[in-house]
Structure 1
């Protein structure tokens, strides 16, 4: 099996060295770019499996890079940035980033985020080989054609809004979805706000999670949004 190929876009030499050394010790292949222009060229020419992206580059803002890449590719993008405000994270995620890690960071957390994104790649590839009318994540199953949901072979009855929320998360498994993105995708111009979304999400969780304190399917990113986790067959 080919080792995943990572494009590291970082102009700070010590941080770039930390990331590449970490990747090398874990057996990943990598290439680096120090500017926004170079990152676009390398992404097009080398077709990496994943991009690790700093936002504060000398010639271009990282958010603009994300937007450019998203015009032609679903390449997973993990942002690694010193910008720690929620609005910065939301802007990057809304632009199309898959995950956001704030500097300073631990290499263990970086590797964990990397594994999540690479699992999503494999999951998306597997979906192309399976019947597109269903989704299976451990004991959770969605039959899109029938509009039904099962948990451990027991059918769960969801409201239309709960079902749309679950389907949206399922179709983006492993990816952080911002509040604004979810609101727009589910309700369009309807005047629901984040507080209403939290209510819908809470009722959905009660139906699919064993315990709200230890969610295995839907992960909250406080102030930002939600992510569906991929679980094993044993849950």
Structure 2
């Protein structure tokens, strides 16, 4: 008789970390905000132990800066660091896209189109949270045929931070209509096997997002009490 097999189950720290992650990505927990373990324990109606474990996981992801005795603060990147996040995205994603396009199949194209339809619905419904997850899913689907597991693991961490800033400011970035067109163009160029054109469009897409976001964050920080724009 075969032995029992371990099945991974969500633990309490997993559940709390997932919820806190979403609150950070959505901007509900603002950059630089102090997160106190005792307050979270009361809010989630748990002891401090699962809160501490959840915060350690988010610290490993770079979303918070955690210390055992003082709780945690939501990570606040400098403008230079935000620019670097998008530069890293560009390096990784363009390389993945270039490798993926020759290997993409009708199934890959259909999957990308399916996600695009859902993304466009989220635009129309003004559902920023759903758009953020679908945007990540769409870009992942574009590069899936590259079959580069290690690169994708690195990109996952970088994208977590870039998506956070995009989602925080999407409602006022005037990004939606240009992004809708660019996402459609990326798929059309990939279907045409126009590797250079597709990679040039992707470079423009990420660069435009970076420039618009940096300008907005700089403006917001210039008018905030902390005035941290470095």
More strand by share: 1
More helix by share: 2
The TM-score by the shorter chain falls in which range?
Answer: under 0.3
Give the number of the structure with larger relative contact order, counting CA–CA contacts within 8 Å between residues 6 or more apart: 2
- TM-score normalised to structure 2 length: 0.26
State which structure, 1 or 2, has the greater radius of gyration over its C-alpha atoms.
Answer: 2
